Structures are given as C-alpha cells and as structure tokens.
C-alpha cells in the first residue's frame, strides 16, 4: 500500500502534476518557426477554412481528447468540486497517453448546471476529436451525455457509465461460460442505480438478458413499480414485485453486480444465492463483500472486484483507451451501441487467448488461464488496446458513423501493437529520467 506522503510527493515532484505539452515538429531554426507560426501557418488555416475535414490532416484534432468534469462525483470521494478533481483528470490523461498514445487536455468546469455545462462543452467541439465525460453525478450525467451526443459530430463518451458497462459485460460473458449458465436464464441483482449500474443493466439487456430478470437496488432498497420519488432512468428497470430489500433480492439470484458501497453484502446474503453464483463487487477501494470472505463462504463463486490485488479486476482502463483509439482512427462521429458491443466482445475473446510471458511476469508469474480466476484481461496486458481498437473501428465503419477506414484490420492491429509498445517503453525511460533528476 502507498502512503499519503508518497502520493503527495509523486504529484508534487520536480514539476507539479502529471502531464505536459510537447511539440511534435522541429523548432530548431528560423525556418522552422516560420513554418510553425507566421507566415507558414496561414496555409493550413486557409485549407481548413475551405474544407473543415482537413483539420484532421493539418492539426492535432484527430488525436486529441478532452477529459471533462465538474467534480460532482469523483471516484469514491463524492462532490469535491472541479479543482480537487484535477489530479484525477490528469491521471486519466496519463492513461490515455500511456495505453493508447492519445493526447488529452483535462478540463475542469465550475458548473453544476447541466444546461450550462452542455453549452460550454458544445463550444469546445472545434478543438477536439472526442469528449470523455468523467465524474459527473447522476442523474445529470445522463442528460448531459444525451444532449451532447445529439449536438456534436465527434464522439462523446461518459466513461463512468459505458466504460464500466463494457468491462463488466465482457467479464460477465466469460463468467457465464465458466459457470455453464445462459444470459437469458439468469437473475441479476444490482446494488447501485447510478450511472454505472444503469449503464451495466442496459448493456446486459442488449446482450440478451431479459429486463424482467433484473432487480435494481439503491439506497432506498428495490426499485419497484409505484415507488415514491421515481426517476425515469431508474424506473426503466422498475419491477412489479413485493421484494423491497437487497437481502430479499439476493435469495436465489444467479448474479450480483455491486457499484455502490463497501460491506453491503453479508456472508448470509451470499449463501442465499443460487448455485455457482457470479459476484462482481466493484465498489472501490472496498467492495460490497471482500474477495477473501466471498471465496470462504462460497467455493463455487466466480468473483470480480475493482481491486488489482485479487483476480478478475474490472478496470475501466481496459476500455476507454482502445475505444477512443479505434474511434479516432476512423474519424467516428459518435460511439454507438455497435461500437460498445464490439469492445465488450473483443475483451471477452482476448481473455480466452494464451497469455504472453511478459504479461505473466508483470503479475509475478501468475498462471493466467481462462477460468474462474481469469475471465477478463489484465490492465497491464499490452494487447488490450490492439484488440479493442480494431473491433471498435470496424464496428464504426460497418454502422456508417466513420469518416474513413483503417482496413485491413489485421494490419492495423499489428501496427498499433508496435506503436503502443514503443509508447510504453518511452514512458518507462522518461520515468527513469525523472527519478534520476529528483
């Protein structure tokens, strides 16, 4: 475990923060400066004025993503505001760069009003190739994303919703195979009816889970028909049932998905589930029930958490870098359901592939083989983006939201894997230099 002092020292360091901007062209001579700025810069300006699509050729727009928050729902920290959220957004920027070689500007907005935030982000469209919304509380996050997707012609993606849903679905597809159950037959209980919970439920429905097989629970208990204080996003999953508590809902359930708070699931609740239960306790850093307790209570459980120190870590870094890489590389105008489903399927398929020795070594030589303790790829698996991005790109092209193509996709995958390995190696070397200088 890291200490508070270590974390603060890391973020302060030689240069405060975790990101910087670097030029991509030579600036060594007067001629270089004339090309970079005046008078040479006028030429691409005029070309873009005549044909806006050329902005992808002559500027960084096509490889630039905005990570945007208003700080109203930051990790497990809650509504700490946009300024306090900045370290998290810089962290997200680092992950984009490290895993997918995507440049990011993190933008923290002092705006809790959805209409105002929508207007601000809409005005930023000329700068970016994509928008990653982050840590915005529900239910406002749903409205904000919906409206921006209608208004913008670049991808808008709320990672707390769809990133979590994609990784959870990929893990679920494999977990179901491991326990020999079919998605149309299982009963799924959710603890947490915010952005992540509702998005996970929607995606599982798109993969064949009957909506009637879902019991959605929040702080007030089960979301049921006629419950006072209804909210349209939650009410989409309201059931006609006499069950009112999470404890009651867990009895006989095949699957539990927690995106809520630590300790909400007891040993007795886990014992009450159906045979060969699937439990994704994703509250971070402390899950709804701990991994050691769960496997002690149920030897037949297939368990996933958000933690890196236990098997089957459901981590959004498996999703958003590759999703945006694929979307940007074909100039997609949106990230649609077809692209999300393709990402989930690609992650599910990758977990069934033999794991390279370099990945095993990164996890202390663990024997990573498809089964109860390995249903989802590891975050440090360098193949993840090179699997997800081609799948997303192909889905974008086939669903007709792409501006161009990267086919043949196998060639694209090989080139991408080489590029990203070089990026990770460069990052490692830069980190060593930083340590030496400090």
Catalytic residue annotation: 37, 92
Q: Is 436 left (phi over 0), alpha (psi -120 to 50) or beta?
A: alpha
Eight-class DSSP state of 229: S
Length of the chain, please?
438
Q: Which of 312, 326, 438, 424 is nearest to 376 (CA)?
A: 312
**Three-state DSSP class for residue 88:** helix
CA distances from 44 to 25, 186, 248 (A): 15, 57, 64
Cβ contacts of 280 within 8 Å, gap of 6 or more: 168, 171, 172, 255, 256, 257, 258, 303, 304, 305, 314
Specify the DSSP element, H or E, that contains 106: strand 103-108
Q: CA-CA distance, 362 to 360, in Å (whole number)? A: 5
Do 346 and 391 contact (CB within 8 A), yes or no?
Answer: yes
Q: How far is CA 244 from the centre of its chain?
A: 31
> Which two three-digit tokens encode residue 60?
């960084």
Measured from the Cβ of residue 295, the count of other Cβ atoms closer than 10 Å reads: 18
Q: How far is CA 242 from the centre of its chain?
A: 35
Whether the ω angle into residue 39 lies within 30 degrees of 0, i.e. cis, is yes
> Which two three-digit tokens encode residue 292?
């050691």
Cβ contacts of 427 within 8 Å, gap of 6 or more: 97, 98
Q: Write the DSSP assignment of 349-417 as a string of letters.
A: HHTTSPPPHHHHHHTTT----SBTTBSS--TT-TTHHHHHHHHHHHHHHHTT--SS---SHHHHHHHHH
DSSP E strand boundaries for 134-263? 156-158, 188-191, 214-218, 221-222, 255-258
Do 127 and 65 contact (CB within 8 A), yes or no?
Answer: no
Give me the residues paired with residue 108 across strands: 69
């Amino acid at each position: 475990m890291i200490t508070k002092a270590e974390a603060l020292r890391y973020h302060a360091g030689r240069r405060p923060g975790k990101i910087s901007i670097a030029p991509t062209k030579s600036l060594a001579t007067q001629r270089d400066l004339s090309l970079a700025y005046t008078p040479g810069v006028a030429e691409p300006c005029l070309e873009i004025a005549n044909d806006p699509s050329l902005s992808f050729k002559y500027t960084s727009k096509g490889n630039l993503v905005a990570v945007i928050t208003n700080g109203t729902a930051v990790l497990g920290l809650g509504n700490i505001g946009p300024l306090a959220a900045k370290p998290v957004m810089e962290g997200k920027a680092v992950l984009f760069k490290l895993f997918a070689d995507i440049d990011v500007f993190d933008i923290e907005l002092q705006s809790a009003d959805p209409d105002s935030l929508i207007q601000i982000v809409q005005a930023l469209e000329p700068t970016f190739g994509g928008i990653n919304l982050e840590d915005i509380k529900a239910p406002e996050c749903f409205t904000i994303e919906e409206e921006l997707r209608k208004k913008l012609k670049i991808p808008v993606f709320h990672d707390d919703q769809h990133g979590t849903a994609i990784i959870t679905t990929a893990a679920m597809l494999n977990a179901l195979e491991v326990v020999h159950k079919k998605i149309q037959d299982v009963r799924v209980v959710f603890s947490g009816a915010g952005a992540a919970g509702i998005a996970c439920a929607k995606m599982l429905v798109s993969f064949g889970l009957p909506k009637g097989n879902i019991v959605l629970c929040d702080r007030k208990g089960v979301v049921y028909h006629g419950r006072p204080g209804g909210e349209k996003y939650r009410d989409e999953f309201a059931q006609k049932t006499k069950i009112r508590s999470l404890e009651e809902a867990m009895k006989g359930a095949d699957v539990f998905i927690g995106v809520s708070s630590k300790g909400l699931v007891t040993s007795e609740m886990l014992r009450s589930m159906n045979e060969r239960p699937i439990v994704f306790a994703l509250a971070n850093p402390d899950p709804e029930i701990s991994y050691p307790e769960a496997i002690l209570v149920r030897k037949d459980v297939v368990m996933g958490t958000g933690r890196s120190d236990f098997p089957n870590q459901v981590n959004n870094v498996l999703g958003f870098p590759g999703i945006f890489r694929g979307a940007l590389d074909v100039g997609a105008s949106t990230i649609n359901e077809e692209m999300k489903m393709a990402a989930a399927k690609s992650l599910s398929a990758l977990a069934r592939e033999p794991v390279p020795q370099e990945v095993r070594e990164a996890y202390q030589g663990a024997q990573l083989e498809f089964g109860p303790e390995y249903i989802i790829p590891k975050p440090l698996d360098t193949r993840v983006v090179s699997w997800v991005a081609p799948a997303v790109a192909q889905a974008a092209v086939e669903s007709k939201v792409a501006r161009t193509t990267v086919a043949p996709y196998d060639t694209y995958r090989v080139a991408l894997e080489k590029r990203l390995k070089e990026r990770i190696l460069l990052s490692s070397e830069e980190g060593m230099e930083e340590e030496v200088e400090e």
